Copies of this chain bind each other. A is one copy, B any other.
Amino acid sequence: MTEQELDEMFSTAIEVAKEAGKVIRDGFYKEKTVDTKISAADLVTETDQAIEKMVHAMITKKFPDHRFIGEESTAESGEKHQLTDDPTWIIDPIDGTTNFVNHVQEVSFSLGVMVNKKTVIGVVYAPIKEEMFSARLGKGAYLNSEKLKASDITDLKEAVIIFEGGNSRDAKLLEEKVKNIHALIAHSRGIRAYGSAAVNLCHVAAGRGQGYVEYGLHIWDFIAGALIATEAGAVVLDPTGSDLDPLRQRVLCACSPEVAKALSQILTHIDTGYD
């Protein structure tokens, strides 16, 4: 893949994110038709589906031989997505659908591009706050035009950690998550929860908090944000401390290796499955 091809892909990613952002903004204050996937907490809206179709069409037109993984098409087909070495655009039309439905502002469009299973482009656009986060492999991370740098805190006791309760209401999973919340409060300076995995990773990238951990995610929730955080100097790993596996449904992000290690040690590592 040439530098010029990557430039074109990056321009397309930004363009696509802006278009998706317009649709999100239009829908944000309207009455929504809500359908439920797994539980009342996991919401699909017309807007998610409309954005994914639009984005798929835009990308296919420019890069007809690239592959595409989207949250909504995966949910519809019921099939597992396959991650190959081909250039692959990975989309979450609205990360933070619950926020979108309940008028909470942290909603984002998330787009990551992988080549040879390595993320080369990450774009997270939070249109209600007009924040465009972006990164290219080896070229740094940006919020709009401002370069991002993660916090330099190394002691978990001084760190603010982001987590999520998540959408599942499975009793056993919930109990494990609550145990982790307990450990996070006890060992950190405080916890925060915003309801969008992609935004959470960008918060750490921007130094607005020093860590983030979540179990029960999918590749489209975190692949773009993970590159943005990494390019801002943060550490993104599997919560156990091993390399991030994009199909393993979980992510740990910290501003420094020290905070990452401390987080990994206090958490109970939940296995929600493999995509």
* A interface, CB within 8 angstroms of B: 40-41, 98-99, 102-105, 151, 153, 157-160, 165-167, 169, 174-175, 177-178, 181-182, 184-186, 189-195, 203, 207-210
Contact = CB atoms under 8 A, between A and B. Distances in A.
Most buried by B among A153, A159, A174, A186: A186
B192 A151 contact: no
Given A102-B189, A104-B192, A174-B186, 11 more contacts: A40-B157, A41-B190, A102-B158, A102-B210, A103-B151, A165-B181, A169-B186, A178-B181, A178-B182, A181-B181, A191-B193
B103 A207 contact: yes
Say how many copies of this protein the assembly contains.
2
Contacts of A103: 151, 207-209
A182 to B, nearest CB: 4
Contacts of A102: 151, 153, 158-160, 189-190, 208-210
A120 B260 CA distance: 47
A251 B101 CA distance: 26
Contacts of A169: 185-186
A181 B181 CA distance: 9
A207 B184 CA distance: 28
B192 A195 contact: yes
B158 A40 contact: yes
Nearest to A169: B186
Most buried by B among A169, A175, A181, A189: A189
Most buried by B among A102, A151, A195: A102
Q: Which 4 residue pairs spanning A and B have beta carbons closest together?
A: A165-B185, A102-B160, A193-B193, A178-B182
A189 B175 CA distance: 17
Given A104-B160, A207-B103, A98 B186 contact: no
21 contacts: A41-B189, A41-B190, A98-B160, A98-B189, A102-B160, A102-B189, A102-B190, A102-B208, A102-B210, A103-B209, A104-B160, A104-B192, A104-B208, A105-B208, A165-B181, A165-B185, A174-B186, A178-B182, A178-B185, A192-B194, A194-B194
